[in-house]
Chain A
């Protein structure tokens, strides 16, 4: 008897919920709606805040100039709690309840993957703002989601360039990679490129999450490599470096892709000196687009932008151009962002046929006297790497 009453109540509640949540029509007089699900709480929240500020700055500038084609732009942002399931629900809410015409991407690969699934099903264009892992576009075919961040395929590019310029004496290059799609992709590209340069190269793979690099370091030493490039995540990179220090192995040049991160200095102190890294963007960039962006960002938020903010702003620039050219039409926007080549604060935006980023490239960095410096001209690099302290 009681359970029946409760069941009925639950059924009524369910029906009411549908009625309240049901979609609403969007009229032409409304502002152009764009959606973003961001990890404002949870483990990605620090970086996601920078992304959000990048979007906000772009939005403010667009609307200050009278919007796009005379219509104001509205950015609807939700907190995905750094959780893919929440991101899936929110992306659905943005699309079918709020009626957004495009989505500015979330932070990190797991969340991009989850949001992309929803965007693909619904047929809504999405810019993968902070998605460096180009294997996202290798593992399955995506039509509506594009990579708007430098591709991990080119992780080793800057280091190979500095070897080409400075490293005439380099005989053998060791590439360390993680057995994960993004790292394998980067390794394959680098091996091919090294071959073209006439450089002998050897690859050393390690299992994801590995912390013990003793055997890899021994194998690198016995291969007589005089340059090492590590293409894995941050923690394994530090573990590999520590093992090299412990073993007293001093390559002429050493690069790990995450080295530009400020915590490298804390982890390695004086031993960081001479280590190369790579960066998508730095607030010290001196091109006029970056300078204008950095100044505007500092004026609005009273702190320096990170590469996250620049990527977010750049994604906004691309979307703005797309809507300007095609109007708020999903198919039009998708075709525009898939095929256009245009300058942004992050460099030249250009995709390949798999919708992976080809135009944006990483810039080489190097730790010199306690600072991560941008190396535009390879001739300016500190060479060879000072011996471990």
Chain B
């Protein structure tokens, strides 16, 4: 409850930025942190809890973005366009979900990689979506709308993850990650759960993509369906810590902030440094920064307790 209250307060603070005279540049960074947080939380929901690694969360956001742009250019109101973005993305996720989540192991991961490539090839050849030349929102909207929507979505996704993680379903998902056979043995319908959570995670990506389309205003298949965004969706929880609601929050802030600072301090080396950091975190801090911080606090507390008893 307290967690939800703090999240809502932080989101409210971030959401009013465009109206509070904060520089547009700072606002843009907060916006991107929120965008990557939604994708990270969506990835966390699927891959963090079930252990089935997805490489397609960026492409799922791309589906949402394309749906939103085509709908808005077709005269749909923005709300309806976002609903369509969610629905189309959730439906598209079933294509991978239903075919590959019946299988164990790496089949799903490979399917997500192929899916990403398939989408790129497909959209390139789709004249209605602008083909290889991409498509553009006819009207440039002010940033305040996507900013507020994205920040609220990020807060919603974080709270939703925290609730899911504590719920019975969350425990079941973790059981699948731990030992799928054992989970099945105690009566968990693993396939159905996996497909369901992947579909929910995709819907979240679709919403984020739709909102992002309002912000970026132009879509080109090579960039929308490049693996870059999918890597960010996975790096954010990995840096911060998977399986926790706070992990992606720390990850997104750190990812956006660090990249920005490094770009100014070390313009030619920033990508190398960010890459190295991700590598170091995944190698030495398996449970991410939040996990490491927790362990540190825990150790200090045990140490203090030990001191107390010694006295």
Contact = CB atoms under 8 A, between A and B. Distances in A.
Interface of A: 2-7, 10-11, 13-14, 17-18, 21-23, 40-41, 78-79, 81, 83-85, 88-89, 92-93, 95-97, 109-110, 113-114, 116-117, 120-122, 133, 135-136, 139-140, 178-182, 207-210, 233
B10 A180 contact: no
A208 B131 contact: yes
Given A10-B253, A139-B135, A110 B32 contact: no
Contact of A113 (B26, B28, B134, B297): B134
A122 B3 CA distance: 37
Contact of B218 (A23, A84, A122, A209): A84
Given A109-B133, A110-B222, A79 B268 contact: yes
Interface string B229-270: 100000000000000001001100100010010010001100
B142 to A, nearest CB: 7
Contacts of A85: 32, 216, 223, 229
Contacts of A121: 140, 142-143
Interface string B18-47: 000011111011101000000000000000
Given A89-B28, A109-B134, A140-B140, A14 B253 contact: yes
13 contacts: A22-B22, A22-B26, A78-B263, A83-B223, A84-B220, A84-B223, A88-B28, A110-B222, A117-B217, A121-B140, A178-B131, A207-B125, A209-B132
B2 to A, nearest CB: 7
B32 A89 contact: yes
A79 B267 contact: yes
The B interface is mostly helix, strand or loop, or mixed, namely helix
Given A139-B136, A181-B133, 4 more contacts: A6-B290, A83-B223, A93-B25, A96-B24
Contacts of A140: 136-140, 217
A208 B125 contact: yes
Contact of A208 (B2, B10, B133): B133
Nearest to A179: B127
A110 B127 contact: no
A3 B3 contact: yes
Nearest to A14: B253
B181 interface: no
Nearest to B244: A3
Interface of B: 2-3, 6-7, 10, 14, 22-26, 28-30, 32, 121, 124-127, 130-140, 142-143, 215-218, 220, 222-223, 226, 228-229, 246, 249-250, 253, 257, 260, 263, 267-268, 271, 290, 293-294, 297-298
A220 B294 CA distance: 70
B130 to A, nearest CB: 7
B145 to A, nearest CB: 12
A79 B263 contact: yes
B214 to A, nearest CB: 10
Contacts of A18: 22, 26
Contacts of B22: 18, 22
Given A92-B28, A122-B24, A110 B220 contact: yes
Contacts of A83: 223, 226, 228
A83 B232 CA distance: 13
Contacts of B257: 13, 17
A111 to B, nearest CB: 8
Nearest to B267: A79
A96 B25 contact: yes
A262 B289 CA distance: 50
Contacts of B131: 178-180, 207-209
A181 B3 contact: no
Contact of B223 (A21, A97, A110): A110
Contact of A11 (B2, B10, B23, B298): B10
Contacts of A209: 121, 124-125, 131-132
Contact of A3 (B127, B136, B246, B260): B246
Contact of A2 (B215, B222, B223, B297): B297
A324 B228 CA distance: 42
A308 to B, nearest CB: 19
B136 A113 contact: yes
Contacts of A182: 133
A40 B14 CA distance: 32
B249 A10 contact: yes
Contacts of B32: 85, 89
B6 A21 contact: no
Contacts of B226: 83
Contacts of A4: 2-3, 6
A85 B217 CA distance: 11
A23 B229 CA distance: 28
A208 B142 CA distance: 32
A4 to B, nearest CB: 7
Contacts of B29: 17, 21, 89
Contacts of B30: 14
A23 B290 CA distance: 31
A298 B236 CA distance: 45
Contacts of B263: 78-79
A207 B253 contact: no
Contacts of A208: 124-127, 131-133
Contacts of A210: 125
Contacts of B253: 10, 13-14, 17
Contact of B216 (A5, A41, A88, A207): A88
Nearest to A24: B23
Given A81-B271, A209-B121, A114 B216 contact: yes
A41 B267 CA distance: 11
A250 B2 CA distance: 77
Given A14-B253, A140-B139, A22 B23 contact: yes
A260 B297 CA distance: 64
A85 B29 CA distance: 11
A157 to B, nearest CB: 20
